[in-house]
Each structure stands twice: as C-alpha cells, then as structure tokens.
Amino acid sequence: MALQINMVREMVFNSADYGIVIFDESGALIEFNIVAGKIFGLSDKNLGKYTIDEFMPEKLKITRPPYQSANDAEIEFGQCRYRVSDRQVCDEAGRPVARSLTFTDITKIRKAFVELENAARHDYLTGLFNRYAFYQELHRRGKESLPITVVRASVEGIDLINELFGNEYGDGVLQAVGQTLNRACRDDDVCARIDGIEFAFIMSRSEEDARRVFDEVSMQTTRVRDGADEITVNLVFGIASKLDDDGSVESIVKAALEDLKLQRLHNEVSRTHNTIANLRSILTRRALHDESLEVEISYFLTELGCTCGLSDKDLEELLLLSVMKDIGMVSVPPDIMKHRGSLSEREIASVRLHAVRGCRIAKGVPELAPIADEILHHHEHWDGSGYPDGLSGPDIPLKCRVLDIVRYYVRRLRGAGGRAAMPSGSVLTEMKALSGERFDPKIFEEFRKIVDVAEHPLDYVVAELR
C-alpha cells in the first residue's frame, strides 16, 4: 500500500505542468520534477551538489533570491518569465524539513498583460497615446519639469470626408494626419489623439518654440489621396504654456482649448475656401464638373437669373449650385460610373440617389447649406417626371429651373458628354419641344430672348468674357 502511495505521489509530482525544486533542511538539492529539469537543465548528478544559495544566483542570475521572503516573486530565465513560490515543508510535528520552490510559466500571461496595458494607453486607430495616457503624462511632467507647453490640434472637415468617401477613408485621413503630427515632435514630446478629430501634445519647450513648430506644420499642405482624388486637410492649433508652479496643469489644457477656438474663428475664411476648393477639385477629376463650360454657363445663369428677378445673393448661390449640384455622385460606386451602355434598374436607382446624398452632404457644410434644397431637386421636371420627389411646376425651386435650361443649352451646343456639338438654333428647337415637359415654359421663352443668335453670337460673348 505504501509503495502504491509513493508511486501516485511520484506520478503527481512529475505530471505537474510547473517546475518543482526541493531542498532539504540544510539547503541541499534533493528532488526536482521533469518540468524543472527541462527548465534548468538539471539531472540526477546535481542532487546533493547544489545548495539553495548556489542554485538561485547561478540558474536565475539574481543577487537577492526571492526565497529569502515568504512572498511570491517573478523572475526571467531564458526567454520565459516565471512566478516563483517559496514554501516551507514541515513534518507532522511542524518542524521544517525542506523548502519547496515552484516555477509557473507566466510568459503568455505577462505578454497578454503588457499588450492589454499598452492597448489601454494607446489609440487603436493612430497608435498614438490616448486621452487617458495624455493626462497621466501631463500630471507626471507637470511635477517634474517646467516649462511645459500643451498643444491642441483639430482636424477640420472630417465629417465631410466621411460623408463623401465613407468612414474607413476618414479613418485613413486621421492616421495620415497623426503620422504627420508625430513627425513634428521630438522624442521626449508626447503626441496623443484625445478625441475623434482632436490631437494633443505635451512639450518641454517654450510656447514660442511650439508655435514655430506647428506654424510650419500648418503651412505644409497636408494632403491625403483616394485613388485620383487628393484632399487638403485643414489643421487648427491652440497652444498654451505653464512657466512656473502657479496654477494647475489642467489650466493650460483649458487655455490651449480657448486658443484653439480663437484660431478656428480666425481661419474660418481659409477653411471655407479649402472646403469649396476640395469639392471642386474632386468633381472636376471625376468628370462631374466641366470647367471648360463654366464661363459660358456662368454668363447665361447670370443673365437669366437677373431676368427672373434673383438677388445678388441668389445669383451667387445659383453659380455655386451649377458647380456643386452633383456632389452626391462621388458616393456612386466606381463600377457604375465607369459602366458603358444601359444601366440596370438597381444601378439607375443608385445613381438617382446622388441627389439625396448631395443634399445631405450640403447640409453638413455651412457654405453649401443654403443650396441643399436645390441640390436635392436639380433633376426635377416641370411636368413632375423628374426625381427624387416628382415635384412639378412652380414647386420646383426657381434656381433649379433656371440651371436646367442653361446647362442643357450649353452642353448640347458644345457637345459635352460625348455628344456631337449642335448649332444654337437646333438646340433651341429641341428645347422648345421639351418646354412644358422638362422646362418651365415662361423661363425658357426669356432664355430664348437672351440667346438671340443673330444679334448676340455666343462665341463673341464668350470671347469677350475670357
């Protein structure tokens, strides 16, 4: 029976998935299991030769062995990390007769913990520090060294980019911006993404020095590419410094935010210009806006708009509408845009949705919001056969009725869209047949008076304008 018990004990001892090393009361090595033998390269030759004082420093390369304390410890050996438990083995009378050291491999656990800890401090998208780590570093540095400067940077126009190209593309823009900003920092600076479109920096430098660094960044044209499209990203910075022990570190974060708001106001005009320029560029590259026709279209829009009683503000919006009306087309799948021949019903429905998408995009851009309704209805027809809402007659916005007539005429005249160019009289005859169906008949008659070919040759007018 005793033999069986010893065999079971030995089986349990050697089947353990952690290393066990046992020393007697004098500190000599008396036993180890299979796992411990593999970890430390032990053999029966080591029995009775190693003492605990020799084993720990030699095998584990430590100068203060954890066995001196009853607490567990962690040590590294080879490529692995182990948790070491040190326990006394006592007889029935409670007298110490041996000391047991167990070594549990926690390499994977420790690696997972480090990865988790790292993930908790870093932004998943850009790889930069996150908000939590930013404030940790801010409080640490605020106690250690002065001056300390905080910079807050905002990426303007991401909502528009997401609407145009999708959230995945918008994420790529933020990644590219994060890389650009990180390159502007020194090794001892902290670069973090603390919000969806906002980055923040901690710098051990003066406010003047920080402004010089980020003025250079903002002067650089930050561009991101989507196939043939290239978009300029607007970056706005707010900066504040703490030079002495007065005030809290949180106060300079708030001061940097106030400076950021002020810079946004100062850059409003430039930001508006960049947004419109981006959209015009995209539409032109995707053949959704023909700049070669813009002078002629603008001339007739102005003439016809004035005839229809549009104010100067309305005329400006009408000219902007002529350029931006098809902005929703950028979200139409490329394979449909490149398709030659007839489209399926599903593809036609996808294309027609561009008016709705364009309206939604315009509402999110302050400078386009006034023409959002016109973008939605620029494909409506006088007899109600247009889309998306089938509006008819005077329910169709006036600017849409004016624009449709002018664009139809100029595009037919110049052979846009792969069609053959037509004489002015032929175009007007074709349009007359559509008057009352597609076009507002009264506005068309006014347009005919403007395009008096005999008295006002179009080529002459355009040459004068150019």
Contacts of 394 (CB under 8 A, 6+ apart): none
The Cα–Cα gap between 252 and 139 comes to 12
CA pseudo-torsion sign 424, 425, 429, 432: positive
Q: Is the pLDDT of residue 203 over 80?
A: yes
- Number of other CB atoms surrounding residue 126 within 10 Å: 21
Domain extents in the chain: 2-111, 122-278, 287-465
Geometric angle at alpha carbon 159, from 156 and 163, rounded to 5°: 140
DSSP sequence for 137-148: HHHHHHHH-S-E
The Cα–Cα gap between 123 and 140 comes to 20
Burial 186-204 (b: 16+ CB within 10 A, else e): eeebbbbbbeebbbbbbbb
Q: Note the pLDDT of residue 139.
A: 85
Q: Would you say 208 and 261 are in contact if contact means Cβ atoms under 8 Å apart?
A: no
Q: Is residue 329 very low, low, confident or very high in pLDDT (cuts 50, 70, 90)?
A: confident
Question: Under CATH, domain 287-465 is a member of which superfamily?
Answer: Hypothetical protein af1432 (1.10.3210.10)
Query: Could you report the per-residue pLDDT of 416-453, keeping only the tens digit for each?
Result: 877 899 999 999 999 999 999 999 999 999 999 999 74
Q: Enter the pTM of the model.
A: 0.61
Please tell me the least confidently modeled range out of 69-83, 151-165, 180-194, 216-230: 216-230
Query: Could you report the per-residue pLDDT of 86-98, keeping only the tens digit for each?
Result: 888 888 888 888 8
Q: Note the pLDDT of residue 223.
A: 56
Q: Would you say 318 and 405 are in contact if contact means Cβ atoms under 8 Å apart?
A: no
Structure tokens at 365: 């851009």
Q: Is the pLDDT of residue 457 over 60?
A: no
Burial 251-267 (b: 16+ CB within 10 A, else e): ebbebbbebbeebeeeb
The fold for domain 122-278 equals Alpha-Beta Plaits (3.30.70)
The Cα–Cα gap between 55 and 161 comes to 64
| 151-157 mean pLDDT | 87
CA pseudo-torsion sign 65, 67, 70, 73: positive
- Number of other CB atoms surrounding residue 15 within 10 Å: 10
Q: Is the pLDDT of residue 63 over 80?
A: no
Q: Note the pLDDT of residue 454.
A: 38
> Which of 5-9, 132-136, 263-267, 283-287 is the most confident on average?
132-136
Q: Would you say 96 and 24 are in contact if contact means Cβ atoms under 8 Å apart?
A: no
The answer to whether 2-111 and 287-465 have equal CATH topology is: no
Give me the helices (H) in 389-440, please.
398-414, 424-434
Please tell me the least confidently modeled range out of 355-364, 374-383, 456-465: 456-465
Question: Under CATH, domain 2-111 is a member of which superfamily?
Answer: PAS domain (3.30.450.20)
Q: Note the pLDDT of residue 222.
A: 54
Q: Would you say 433 and 282 are in contact if contact means Cβ atoms under 8 Å apart?
A: no
Q: Is the pLDDT of residue 375 over 50?
A: yes
